[in-house]
Amino acid sequence: MATRRALHFVFKVGNRFQTARFYRDVLGMEVLRHEEFEEGCKAACNGPYDGKWSKTMVGFGPEDNHFVAELTYNYGIKNYQLGNDFKGITIASSQAVSNAKKLKWPLTEIAEGVFETEAPGGYKFYLQDRSPPQPDPVLKVTLAVSDLQKSLNYWSNLLGMKIYEKDEEKQRALLGYADNQCKLELQGIKGAVNHAAAFGRIAFSCPEKELPDLEDLMKREKQEILTPLVSLDTPGKATVQVVILADPVSVP
């Protein structure tokens, strides 16, 4: 599965100015591309909204070899109710910690050299005050699951991810497609996972020829398919084939 890779996480944002300030001035990311749309995405990229919206990709480097954030803005929607599904993104960057302190952006040190902060909208980020151990400073995305073993079966056995760490006592596991790319961390919680209105998505690249077989596998395994295989046109980029799946106990 070495040809698969974690690509981006989709956030819904209500304040583009403050959000841009956080990602650019605090984290140190750059705007990679920005697109405006007059109507909703046919794969519901911007959520269940049909009106005008925009998409801004931000990251520490090119989308081809960095995990980035996709910031979706629906015109007229100023805020979104948070659920308990998204637990945070962990970034190794002494520069981001320094930027936050200089700008007086709220930081809470939760462990030695590890700071918790929030992006506008309440999305949590964990900043490690050290140099990145890999080319991409984004280390992992943490999502909540209500049944860790069921989710491990989904991500590992069905989607082919390698399990790097597993802690039954703390109900957490770390998975990924390669050592040097952003990982997916699953954190077990008590009770149901609530996506609320702010629910996001995590995207992975996959060779186009594998997508029909992957979709067939999910059908055979009776797993939920949110959006069947579809072609999406992207201005300035090649048309991409997309299928959107749902972890049975986590976030789509």
Three-state helix/strand/coil letters over 124-159: EEEEECCCCCCCCCEEEEEEEECCHHHHHHHHHHHC
Please list, in sequence order, all residues whose beta carbon lies within 8 angstroms of the beta carbon of residue 239, skipping any fewer than 6 positions away.
Answer: 231, 232, 233
Token pair, residue 163, equals 């399990």
Quick one: pLDDT at residue 41?
A: 77
- Note whether 66 and 136 are within 8 A (CB): yes
pLDDT at 115 exceeding the cut of 70:
yes
pLDDT grade for 237, boundaries at 50, 70 and 90: low
pLDDT at 8 exceeding the cut of 80:
yes
Q: How many other CB atoms are there within 10 angstroms of residue 164's CB atom?
A: 14
Residue 89: closest CA among 236, 200, 163, 226: 200
Quick one: pLDDT at residue 252?
A: 46
Angstrom distance (rounded) from CA 203 to CA 182: 11
Higher pLDDT, 2 or 142: 142
Quick one: pLDDT at residue 2?
A: 60
pLDDT grade for 232, boundaries at 50, 70 and 90: confident
What phi and psi values does residue 13 have, to the nearest 5 degrees?
A: -125, 145
pTM: 0.94
pLDDT above 90 coverage of the chain, percent: 81
Q: Positive or negative, the Cα torsion across 141, 145, 148, 149?
A: negative
Please give the DSSP secondary-structure letter assigned to residue 117: E
pLDDT at 162 exceeding the cut of 70:
yes
Angstrom distance (rounded) from CA 154 to CA 222: 12
Residue 229: closest CA among 73, 154, 217: 217
Residue-wise pLDDT tens digits, 241-252: 899 999 987 644
Residue-wise pLDDT tens digits, 21-72: 999 999 999 999 999 998 877 767 777 788 899 999 999 999 999 999 999 9
**Count of CA atoms in the C-beta half-sphere (13 A) of 139:** 16
pLDDT grade for 236, boundaries at 50, 70 and 90: low
- Percentages helix, strand, coil for the chain (3-state, rounded to 5) are 15, 40, 45
Residue-wise pLDDT tens digits, 193-210: 999 888 889 999 999 999
Angstrom distance (rounded) from CA 239 to CA 231: 7
Residues belonging to the chain: 252
Quick one: pLDDT at residue 238?
A: 73
pLDDT at 235 exceeding the cut of 70:
no
Quick one: pLDDT at residue 39?
A: 83
Residue-wise pLDDT tens digits, 15-31: 999 999 999 999 999 99
**Count of CA atoms in the C-beta half-sphere (13 A) of 241:** 11
Q: For the residues 234-247, what does the mean pLDDT come to?
A: 81
